Amino acid sequence: MTAKRTGVGFRAILSGTGHCVPAAILTNAELERRVSTTDAWIVERTGIRERRLAAPGEKASDLALVAAQRALDAAGLAPEFLDMILVATVTPDRPMPAVGPTLQAALGARCPALDFSAACAGFVYGLSLARAQIESGQAQHVLLVGVEVLSRRVDFTDRETCILFGDGAGAVVLSAVPAETGRGLLHTRLGADGRFADILRIDADEGVIRMEGREIFRHAVNRLTEVIEAALAETGWSAADVNLVVPHQANLRILEAVAKRIDVPRERIYANLERYGNTSAASIPIALDEARREGRLADGDKVLFAALGAGLVWGAATLVW
């Protein structure tokens, strides 16, 4: 680990981003042959046209490694300078050990490493954890990875869920900079309500995703609207100030409903779920890396992240790029 800083006055910037998705593509047309559905129905209900599937033997740690290496390369940072590795996932390689230490060894890093589970809100929760490490002076560089291999938890006879989920990994490097630069994470706001745990779950005895779609939709629109409005208020921004919203990629109808409620034009909402589906904790960092590579982010841009996942858990974060 690098020497720790003393004092306060630092913020966490996203100094590098990267992502990795499997090569295999499962299209809506192929799903039509597996389950009673149509491409038109899927697109109308979700906005999804295809998703990626991990190859046999391809693990979460494999996808995480490639995404992490790309993020480190973008940051210009060698793995030995990492002070912590955080991995958000609900589909680790195995129950024990965690993906984090496996990734640490593969990278050749020498720092604490752990997994945590916040489902689709994992990346936003991870931003809060990483921010705390950096602002407290405990870390200078933190690697945050969201990775999922959800295709192995999908019931391909259940058309309500099998159309939604895909596999992939996204990663960011968070680095400390003086607060006076004006850049970096400004606020993170998190929430949870375990009373609704059963409406999106993977039971141990069954091992596949079960979901009450209408309830998830309702909670997602309401909770995301609330947490975004709270995060904007805490930051001192209006919706008009936001240059780009990078939300969890669950359902296009959810994104459009939230955009309408918070009064952000649709063109400022980044969406790539038509190509990847819902990759849970990986969805925001995958979308963020693609947005960066497409030139959608400029220095000083005001960026908003928001997500809701099983638990129920949710969160939002504000960032000056």
Cβ-in-10-Å burial (0-12, 13-18, 19+) of 243 comes to middle
19, 141, 248, 251: the catalytic one is: 248
Query: Hey, CA dihedral for 226, 231, 233, 234, is it positive or negative?
Result: positive
19, 141, 251, 278: the catalytic one is: 278
The dihedral over CA atoms of 84, 88, 92, 93, expressed in degrees to the nearest 10, equals -40
Give the number of other CB atoms < 10 A from CB of residue 48.
Answer: 25
| Whole-number Cα distances in Å, 76 to 3, 72, 81, 82, 137 | 19, 6, 11, 12, 21
162 among known catalytic residues: no
Do 15 and 181 touch, CB atoms closer than 8 A? Answer: no
Query: Hey, CA dihedral for 115, 244, 188, 78, is it positive or negative?
Result: positive
Q: In 3D, which of 291, 281, 211, 198 has the Cα closest to residue 244?
A: 291
Do 111 and 104 touch, CB atoms closer than 8 A? Answer: yes
20, 111, 120, 162: the catalytic one is: 120
| Cα–Cα distance for residue pair 286/274, rounded to 1 Å | 13
120 among known catalytic residues: yes
Q: Is 263 helix (H, G, I), strand (E, B) or coil?
A: coil
Do 63 and 54 touch, CB atoms closer than 8 A? Answer: yes
222 among known catalytic residues: no
| Cα–Cα distance for residue pair 104/147, rounded to 1 Å | 15
Contacts (Cβ under 8 Å, ≥6 apart) of 69 = 18, 107
For 193-312, strand residue ranges (E) read 200-202, 209-211, 244-247, 302-309
Do 48 and 163 touch, CB atoms closer than 8 A? Answer: yes
Catalytic residues: 120, 248, 278
